[in-house]
């Protein structure tokens, strides 16, 4: 009996590791019981154990599902476009300005460029269903995007499509701040309204810095949400 339930456990662990994405349904208890020659009760115990370990979760009446991997999944590297779509909102950017400028000391340091090297600077008011949510100033090494960028839509989608560049990791800091009059006007809120200032340096697979961005989020429309776990 112990041998069989250990086999079932191994089988499920392998399935969770290689076969199932988070939130995919596990095979039903009944078919696991048949396949492994175990009672439903024993199958349930094996699943209970996996549930206690946080590897699966149960939904009464519909089955057992693969859990989310625990490694900081909640702080995923996403784009504005993805964030808005996930909330059922229509992402947009208006207005958009682009300039080629010398990197300067801070941006150059973050992007590992000399201060005189050129960067493409994008300034975008990011909107959700047409409402301004965030003011974003992004710098990219000009040498990485030699043919320019079409910026009607998502910067990250365009970087992937046109240059095969995918930001994989980012260092990010979040500060509280207030909006100066110009930034407040761009976001259509009162001057000196509170905001979050998020600075991101994003790196690709090879560890090259590909973006240095500053995003100013309206304090009345944003919250930083983290899922945290006890080890």
Positions in the binding site for ligand 16G (CB under 6 A)? 79-81, 91, 136, 138, 154-157, 198, 200, 211, 213, 215
Quote the CA–CA distance of 101 and 121 in Å, as a whole number.
7
**Nearer to ligand 16G by C-beta: 200 or 218?**
200
Quote the CA–CA distance of 134 and 138 in Å, as a whole number.
12
**Nearer to ligand 16G by C-beta: 66 or 124?**
124
What six digits make up the tokens of 200?
A: 């991101």
The answer to whether the beta carbons of residues 139 and 120 sit under 8 Å apart is yes
Which residue is it, tokens 């910067």?
155
Quote the CA–CA distance of 121 and 138 in Å, as a whole number.
6
With H, G, I as helix, E, B as strand and everything else as coil, classify residue 176: strand
CA angle 15, 8, 23 (to 5 degrees): 35
Give min distance, CB of 59 to ligand 16G, in A. 31
Give min distance, CB of 179 to ligand 16G, in A. 16
Give min distance, CB of 80 to ligand 16G, in A. 4
What six digits make up the tokens of 124?
A: 């975008």
**Nearer to ligand 16G by C-beta: 100 or 160?**
160
Q: Reduced to 3 DSSP states, what percent helix, strand and coil does the chain have, rounded to the nearest 5?
A: 30, 30, 35
**Nearer to ligand 16G by C-beta: 108 or 209?**
209
Give min distance, CB of 24 to ligand 16G, in A. 27
Give min distance, CB of 181 to ligand 16G, in A. 23
Give min distance, CB of 173 to ligand 16G, in A. 10
Which residue is it, tokens 């702080």?
75
**Nearer to ligand 16G by C-beta: 26 or 133?**
133
Alpha carbon of residue 224 to chain centroid: 12
What six digits make up the tokens of 53?
A: 């370990």
**Nearer to ligand 16G by C-beta: 8 or 155?**
155
């Amino acid at each position: 009996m112990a041998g069989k339930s250990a086999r079932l456990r191994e089988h499920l662990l392998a399935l969770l590791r290689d076969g199932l994405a988070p939130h995919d349904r596990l095979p039903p208890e009944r078919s696991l019981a048949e396949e492994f020659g175990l009672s439903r009760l024993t199958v349930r115990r094996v699943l209970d154990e996996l549930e206690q370990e946080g590897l699966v979760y149960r939904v009464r009446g519909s089955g057992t599902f693969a859990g989310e991997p625990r490694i900081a999944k909640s702080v995923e590297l996403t784009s504005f476009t993805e964030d808005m779509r996930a909330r059922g909102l229509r992402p947009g950017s208006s207005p958009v300005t682009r300039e080629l400028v010398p990197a300067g000391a801070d941006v150059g340091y973050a992007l590992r460029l000399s201060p005189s090297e050129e960067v493409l600077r994008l300034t975008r008011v990011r909107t959700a269903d047409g409402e301004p949510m965030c003011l974003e100033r992004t710098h990219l090494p000009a040498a990485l995007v030699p043919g320019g960028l079409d910026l009607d839509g998502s910067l990250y989608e365009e970087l992937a499509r046109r240059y095969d560049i995918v930001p994989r990791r980012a260092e990010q800091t979040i500060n509280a701040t207030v909006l100066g009059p110009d930034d407040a006007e761009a976001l259509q809120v009162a001057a000196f309204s509170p905001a979050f200032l998020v600075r991101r340096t994003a790196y690709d697979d090879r560890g090259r810095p590909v973006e240095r961005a500053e995003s100013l989020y309206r304090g009345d429309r944003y919250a930083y949400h983290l899922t945290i776990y006890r080890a």
